[in-house]
Structure 1
């Protein structure tokens, strides 16, 4: 099908969430989504006042959350009884399903806190399945060394750098997500095969990069939605580039979101709110 092009740029916007954690939101701002991806937040600060109050207990229903830490230490606790500590390079993959109440609280009073939270939609048939949770320590995430001197961390799906693919720890989901963290040195290029028909985007969090054969620039701290095709071509700028590359199978279903509840109809989101208020969200 050919090489994908940069079709739309979504600059991240400064906002806050939880108990006042400062972050930058690209997907999800002004309800901009890229099926099956609902939201992407980047949190990044050296000032504890920007993150110390964290994300106290709050509910979810109907989708999955993925937390990926670059720096810092965050503790997760939820209504199902799970508890986990996320450090640099760790991932938490949580399926809210029919409902979960969880918290994510910083375990540091100084230093840098940096990472991402991604929301991935669930199909209607899976929105009410039991909640589940998985901590993935950094050492379980394969890292592929590139000939250019760069590297690719494979969190979900399969990255095919040559004749053989390298698979991440997350596999077998309906949306079949590909989640890569890519680090390229100055002027290095990378070609990534992707499934035609899947939606894909790149979020550049450090450096400079161009995308596609026409070398369109993606601004730093922006999400670049990509056209269809079977391959993504990316080239780093003079200072290198660090970015997330995500692709997934679109669900093609109605999305009705009310805060932390993502369902297919307004009635379903209203029911989720009622269930939360009467204590049956997680039952």
Structure 2
């Protein structure tokens, strides 16, 4: 029997300035929703021409960049560079350390870059792995159509939905779906028992399970995780409704974060500062590498 999770907390993502002139709506990682293991941060970003996120480091987490509109360029100290197109995803495992830049690109249709960036904590055993990337262009992300071609589309960015599985393989359990409803309707998504789950509303309005409350765009909804709940039922209350549904395996470990460095103890963070300052253990190019795109 399918039993739906329910909303236990809602947070409205207020738009604020971030980076070099970018605008973000932050929910996870804000004062209203500080801890939601394994998730560290969720930003709904808008990057104008001349803005962006110039050269900066990471250690200990994965960053997931999913483009909704426009295009974004990226470049890093390991020699990796590319373009994330609208509808595409970049799943970067920072591991032991990397320096990178994320800057807007001029899309063929002139759209400014808008998208979502999710930070996912890495299990302690993966904190110091070599950095790696998994990238999919829009056509590489598979879709599920549980009610046929005229029903809702579920873009399977990672994980499994209605018999469709993404090729992305995160370090740690994480499912990520973009749900697109052209018309009103309801979908039930199975979720592994005990996983942390949230929804972020992009367009239109939705209701959850048997709860009557209506949720409009820019809300992050944290869902319950009771042992008898097998998944989540979401109803699109109007045409042209979109939301992302994300679930992750909770981590039984401390979160000690200083900006883009996320470890499990103060000692590890202090060691990270030393590594970064001295150019060691993943940060060998911290003081010599400069991106080509960061100064554009």
Report the TM-score, using the length of structure 1 for normalisation. Answer: 0.91
- The answer for the alignment partner of 1:23 in structure 2 is 24
The alignment covers a number of residue pairs equal to 274
Separation of aligned partners in 1, 2:161 and 2:239: 24
| 3-state secondary structure, aligned to 1:238 | coil
Structure 1 unaligned spans of 5+: none
- The answer for the alignment partner of 1:218 in structure 2 is 215
How many Å apart are 1:281 and its aligned residue? 4.9
Separation of aligned partners in 2, 1:146 and 1:124: 36
Separation of aligned partners in 2, 1:116 and 1:104: 13
Deviations 1:147-205 (A, max 9, x none): 25221100100012xxxx1001213x342211000012343111111111011000001
Is the 8 Å Cα contact of residues 64 and 119 (structure 2) preserved in structure 1? yes
1:44 to 43, 46, 49: 46
Q: Which runs of 4+ in 1 moved over 4 A?
A: none
- The answer for the alignment partner of 2:71 in structure 1 is 73
Please, which moves more after superposition, 189-198 or 216-225? 216-225
Separation of aligned partners in 2, 1:20 and 1:112: 13
1:188 has 2:185 as partner: yes
Deviations 1:58-99 (A, max 9, x none): 000001000001111111100111011111111111000010
| 3-state secondary structure, aligned to 1:29 | coil
Is the 8 Å Cα contact of residues 134 and 168 (structure 2) preserved in structure 1? no
The equivalences for 1:121-160 within 5 A come to 121-147=121-147, 149-160=151-162
- The answer for the alignment partner of 2:294 in structure 1 is none
- The answer for the alignment partner of 1:100 in structure 2 is 98
1:199 has 2:200 as partner: no
Structure 2 unaligned spans of 5+: 285-296
- The answer for the alignment partner of 1:11 in structure 2 is 12
How many Å apart are 1:271 and its aligned residue? 1.8
How many Å apart are 1:233 and its aligned residue? 0.4
- The answer for the alignment partner of 1:90 in structure 2 is 88
How many Å apart are 1:226 and its aligned residue? 0.3
Separation of aligned partners in 1, 2:138 and 2:182: 22
Two-structure CA RMSD over aligned residues (Å): 1.7
Separation of aligned partners in 1, 2:194 and 2:201: 23
Is the 8 Å Cα contact of residues 175 and 250 (structure 1) preserved in structure 2? no
| 3-state secondary structure, aligned to 1:89 | coil
Is the 8 Å Cα contact of residues 13 and 29 (structure 1) preserved in structure 2? no
Please, which moves more after superposition, 28-37 or 106-115? 106-115
